Amino acid sequence: MTILVTGASGHLGRLIVESLLERGASADQVVAGARDVAKVADLGVRTARLDYTDPSSVAAALDGVDSVVLVSSSEVGQRFAQHKAVIDAAVAAGVTKFVYTSAPKATTSDLVLAPEHKATEEAITASGLPSVILRNNWYTENYVRDLAVAKETGVLAAGVGDGRVASASRKDFADAAAVVLLEDGHVGEVYELGGDVAWTYSDLAAAFTELAGREVVYTPLTAEQQLAALQEAGLDEGTAGFVVALDAGIRAGALADTDGTLARLIGRPTTPLLEGLRAAS
């Protein structure tokens, strides 16, 4: 068995490679695919140049590969075309297990990030690849920058209202990917993955308070207030609007669901919010 991990130089991709090795895969069974292979040389596995925008590099990276985990691209607006290159190459290579890291409820969600994931999932289905879809909730590490700001200001300001987020650490999600890659079965499954606890931004502010050594207060913003604050902070209108739309999705409950599937897959509780923030900051 040979497993290709795309985007292996990124945070999640690196952790998936490490988790595969921790769970018994041998170094010669794992291929770390990255645009710059120098960035993955320290992982101790085989490497392959894989640039989502260069289909020939994708095809070469998949040569002799049985299983693939497509770690979704971070380039919003470019994702689908990049993902399609990997899907097409996997079909040509006869891949027998294709794992994709998607977004929560990707095919039905109103979350601003969902459409590219929806299109990717539909392309995977249409391709006929034996697939496993991992719909990852938010990574707790996403909030490290907010923590840094809160340490300085004592404020956590957002437009999410009372919306909840079932986040988990990247390590939790990486372990889930490794499990479905290494175990028999799972093909055909769509897993909604989230942390064991869906927390509010008041809970997040409490965690920030403990880590910052000062009181951090959550200040809810209207969409108009948030847009103005983001633009005042220097974001262009398009980027600021994207952030506002993202928070609106959270406010509407896009990230609130959790049913324990992630914990069951990885065989342990997911990383608590405070612990995940402490480890990442």
Q: What is the CATH number of the domain that holds 105?
A: 3.40.50.720
- 187, part of any domain: no
Do both 50 and 24 map to the same domain? yes
What phi, psi does 274 have (nearest 5°)? -60, -45
* Res 113: pLDDT: 86
The residue assigned the tokens 């049985």 is 66
- 34, part of any domain: yes
pLDDT digits (tens, 9 = 90+) for 143-199: 999 999 999 999 999 999 999 999 999 999 999 999 999 999 999 999 999 999 999
Do both 52 and 141 map to the same domain? no
Please say if the pLDDT value at position 220 is more than 90.
Answer: yes
- 182, part of any domain: no
CA–CA separation, 53 vs 31, rounded Å? Answer: 19
CA–CA separation, 271 vs 157, rounded Å? Answer: 24
Residue type, 13: G
CATH of the domain at 228: 3.90.25.10
Do both 107 and 141 map to the same domain? no
- 211, part of any domain: yes
CA distance to 4, 131, 181, per residue, from 20 (Å): 11, 18, 8
Look at the chain and count its residues.
281
Closest alpha carbon to 91 in 43, 115, 59, 57: 59
Do both 7 and 103 map to the same domain? yes
- 186, part of any domain: no
Do both 150 and 280 map to the same domain? yes
User: What is the enclosing helix (H) or strand (E) of 117?
Assistant: helix 114-127
pLDDT digits (tens, 9 = 90+) for 80-124: 999 999 999 999 999 999 999 999 999 999 888 899 999 999 999
